[in-house]
Amino acid sequence: MGSSLARGHTTCQETVKLSTLWLCYPRVDILSPIPQPIYATLSDIVVYSRRGATRAAFSVAEKFKQAIETRSGSRILYNVFVLDATPAELRVKLRHLLVGPHTINFAQREKDEMQELTRASEILTIPAPDLDDSLEDVHPWTPGLGQVFLGNVNDVPFFPGNPVDSSLRGIDLLDSSGNSPADGLGYDVCIECRMRAPRPSLGFLLSAQEHLMELERRWQASGGTGPRPAPNAAAIVYLPFPLLPILDEMTLFLEFLEKLLKPNPQRGFGRPAKILIWSSDGYTESSVLALSLIMAMRSMTLPEAYLELQVTKKRSFFVYETDVRLLKAMEGKLARDRQAKVPSRRHTSGPARANSFNPAAINSSAMSTSYEETGSAPIASMRRPRASTSPLLPSLVDDHQVWFDDPRFDGSFPSRVLPFLYLGNLNHAANAYMLHALGITHVVSVGECALIPPPSECTAGTAATSDTKTSSTAVTSGASERRGSLYIEEREGRIKVLDIKGVCDDGIDTLEPQLAPICDWIDRAREQGGKVLVHCRVGVSRSATVTIAYTMKHLGISLVEAYLIVRSRRLSVLIQPNMRLLYNLCGWEVKLAQQRAAGNSERLRTELARCVNWPYLAREVHLLNEKYLHM
């Protein structure tokens, strides 16, 4: 078509390729994708009627034509078309190009993805097997083991009005209805973690303890043999726990849980308990209690508990900076308690002493008491959760406190999107020792370079008289030089870096030509057994775009599915690819469809049928983000 205004009608094939006029919204923001205003400035006008080329359709088109001609001196020239086909004719000739009302509920799909990610999984087994690998062989409900699971609201069997009812009238203890181990349940205690939950009092915990002892007595009185079965859903102990308890409350609660997980048969307890710790989303409000329990039961430091949960148990979690202060205080108190018990162990006979629940013996401590104030480091556990990823690593990597105390560490790991693919920010990439602890061997920097020489490297480089590389051991002296440096790790060949330059998050720069090479690079890293971190500055736009693109390619899924997967696995961080990058992803989806079709036009139509267009996707993402941005 020429640049002059056109009136008339075209064939179906010509018309459906044209853009449609979209309603305009008053605001344009690259991070709040509403592309209709932009589309409207680039589009010709197509008028159509369900009855084909009617007189009314031509009348409307004529009015558009006259309006455009009136302002033709100051505006771009647009074409005006009338579609001369009926819907029935389009369904016959161009069915694969027809767009109907979308039935994708983005909010529900996001909720489903999140629940799948945070469904209940085992995070602690007492007594733990010697080897972590053997935990995979432990049945989810093993009577001889005390077990703790971390999950979300969908994993809770039942929530009665009265959480602790010792009478148990009318309850058949042999009936595990609604709480069957065969269904992945079988819990004795369910602990709800939430912001304004009532604080656990000593009397309430003693009542819960008596409740479980009554279950055991009734099981024995019924003539049952073997371990007590899982209780009926109505007989489960339901306990609340606040998001940020004071230190004494946390200590009291941990000792209570320890008694349930390591019961003393002489005091009326039977088998170890099965405990579910849960919150509404499965990670935000329950992470503090889960990490504290791992530190207490496994005699671990806080960094080791992080790695135990993230690496060994493969459980994603999120901790805010305010939560870290409480966790450090808890770490220090647990370390002091362990140190205090060391001399007394020589005079203690049998394990019964460790299993007793004595609230009066809890050492009173203020919430403000922290590990730094004690003047001594916590006692390290005898076993590291994860070995080093390379025999050539500097010795500081063995000290997890180094990366944990790094000012660049904000309390949370980068988000694990796939078993080998992480999404994070610039600080995550710069904390090289944390990357080693997670087993990350490759880094993709999207528009933000993390290869910054440390001060010692700059000084050594100035004074050097040869081209010899500075040894990585140079970072072992001085407080600031104890921090890991991606620059040094990349130079020494321990971490490979793909540095993508010239991509700003301004809504102008594009990632279209880089997506394919980046995905190929990540694929090669995966085939070599490596793990990859993709990052930009914040980890919500440019790096999120790359991660979505790779997820689409690797899993062979649509853009909508990949977007929601990455969005849910980013946990409490809201991904927001700008409109230009979202448009790149739409084009990437078409390119992948063409590759999978391999020249088969029928298969290409099938592949393209599941695609959504850019305006629709941008609008749905905007609506999905609004509920979080206005909270």
Give tens-digit pLDDT for 204-244: 899 999 988 888 888 888 887 788 889 888 889 999 999 88
Q: What percent of the chain has pLDDT over 90?
A: 46
Q: How far apart are CA 275 and CA 253, in angstroms?
A: 13
Confidence tier at 167 by pLDDT (50, 70, 90): low
**Do the beta carbons of residue 280 and residue 152 sit within 8 Å?**
yes
Residues 201 and 308 in one domain: yes
pLDDT band at residue 541 under the 50/70/90 scheme: very high
For residue 28, what pLDDT band results from cuts at 50, 70 and 90?
A: very low
Among the listed ranges 150-164, 262-276, 278-292, 494-508, which one has the minimum average pLDDT value?
150-164
Q: Write the secondary structure of 457-523 as one string of H (helix), E (strand) and C (coil).
A: HHHHHHHCCCCCCCCHHHHHCCCHHHCCCHHHHHHCCCCEEEEECCCCCCCCCCCHHHHHHHHHHHH
Q: Is pLDDT larger for residue 177 or for residue 37?
A: 177
Compute the half-sphere exposure of residue 544: CA atoms within 13 Å on the CB side of its CA: 26
Each residue's pLDDT tens digit, 365-412: 333 333 333 333 333 333 333 334 444 555 555 678 999 999 999 999
Q: Is residue 426 part of a domain?
A: yes
pLDDT at position 270: 77
State the DSSP string of 537-551: SSSSSHHHHHHHHHH
Q: Which range, of 140-144, 229-233, 259-263, 329-333, averages the lowest pLDDT?
A: 140-144
| pTM, 2 dp | 0.78
Asked if residue 4 is part of any domain, the answer here is no
Cβ atoms 290, 275 nearer than 8 A: no
Beta bridge partners of 442: 496, 532
Contact indicator for 576, 625 with CB cutoff of 8 Å = yes
Report if residue 315 sits inside a domain: yes
What pLDDT, on a 0 to 100 scale, did the predictor assign at position 217? 86
Give the C-alpha separation, 283 to 194, whole Å.
11
Radius of gyration of the chain (CA): 30
Q: State whether 452 and 307 are in the same domain.
A: no
* Predicted local confidence at residue 153, as pLDDT: 93
Amino acid identity of residue 469, one-letter, is K
Asked whether residue 553 is assigned to any structural domain, the reply reads yes
Q: Report residue 533 as tokens.
A: 């971190």
State the pLDDT confidence band at 473, using cuts at 50, 70 and 90: very low
Instruction: Give residue 267's pLDDT.
Output: 65
Distance of CA 432 to the CA centre of its chain: 21
Q: Residues 198, 294: one domain?
A: yes
425, 434 in Cβ contact below 8 A? no
* Residues contacting residue 108 through CB under 8 Å, at least 6 positions apart: none
* Distance (Å) of CA 178 to CA 186, 218, 273, 573: 9, 20, 17, 34
In this structure, is residue 477 part of a structural domain?
yes
3-state secondary structure at position 283: coil
- By the 8 A CB rule, do 237 and 196 touch? no
- Does 16 share its domain with 122? no
Angstrom CA distances, 264 to 13, 141, 170, 443, stand at 79, 20, 28, 50
Cα distances from 427 to residues 133, 411, 450, 488, 527, in angstroms, run 31, 11, 8, 16, 27
Q: What is the pLDDT of residue 104?
A: 81
N residues, the chain: 631
Residue 457 belongs to domain with CATH number: 3.90.190.10
> In angstroms, how far is the first alpha carbon of the chain from the final one?
49
Pairing type for strands 189-194 and 146-152 reads unpaired
- The rounded mean pLDDT for the chain is 79
Least confident of 171-185, 519-533, 551-565: 171-185
Kindly tell me if the per-residue pLDDT of 625 is higher than 90.
Answer: no
| Residue 95 pLDDT | 73
Bridge partners of 82, per DSSP, are 9, 47
| Angle at CA of residue 513, ends 512 and 515, nearest 5° | 70
Residues 123, 83 within the same domain: no
| CA-based nearest residue to 385, from 299, 318, 282, 317 | 299
Q: Is residue 24 part of a domain?
A: yes
Most confidently modeled range among 96-105, 199-208, 307-316 = 307-316
- Provide the pLDDT confidence category of residue 10 given band limits of 50, 70 and 90: very low
Structure tokens, 180: 């069957």
User: Domain check: are 571 and 478 in the same one?
Assistant: yes
Are 519 and 550 a contacting pair, CB within 8 Å?
yes
Residues of the domain holding 15: 9-98
H-type alpha helices, 222-320: 247-261, 287-298, 302-307
What stretches of 55-105 show up as alpha helix (H) in DSSP?
55-70, 87-93
Span 12-28, mean pLDDT?
36
Q: What is the mean pLDDT of residues 17-39?
A: 46
**Res 220: pLDDT:** 84
- DSSP per-residue codes, 16-32: TTS-------S--BTTB
> Is the CB of residue 306 less than 8 Å from the CB of residue 291?
yes
- Mean pLDDT over 149-174 rounds to 69
For residues 330 and 218, which has the higher predicted lDDT (pLDDT)? 330
- Is residue 113 in some structural domain? no
108, part of any domain: no
Nearest partner of 227 among 178, 189, 265, judged by Cα: 265
> Of the ranges 330-339, 455-464, 470-479, which is most confident?
330-339
* Sign (positive or negative) of CA dihedral 49, 54, 56, 58: positive
In angstroms, the CA 294 to CA 261 distance is 12
| Per-residue confidence (pLDDT) for residue 168, from 0 to 100 | 54
Strand 189-194 versus strand 274-279 pairing type: parallel
Q: How many CB atoms lie within 10 A of CB 116?
A: 13
Is the same domain home to 34 and 158? no
| Residues annotated as part of the active site | 536
Neighbouring residues of 22: CB distance < 8 A, sequence distance ≥ 6: 36, 39, 40, 43, 615
pLDDT above 80: residue 59? yes
Same domain, 196 and 74: no
Can you give the pLDDT at residue 115?
92
Pairwise CA distance, residues 54 & 92, whole Å: 20
Q: What is the pLDDT of residue 268?
A: 57
511 and 583 co-located in one domain: yes
Range scoring the smallest mean pLDDT among 58-67, 97-106, 373-382, 395-404: 373-382
Q: 361 and 459 share a domain?
A: no
State how many domains the chain has: 3
pLDDT above 50 (res 326):
yes
Residues 439, 355 share a domain: no
For residues 195 and 317, membership in a common domain is answered with yes
Q: Which residue has the higher pLDDT, 443 or 71?
A: 443
Task: Please report the pLDDT score of residue 628 as a whole number.
Answer: 76
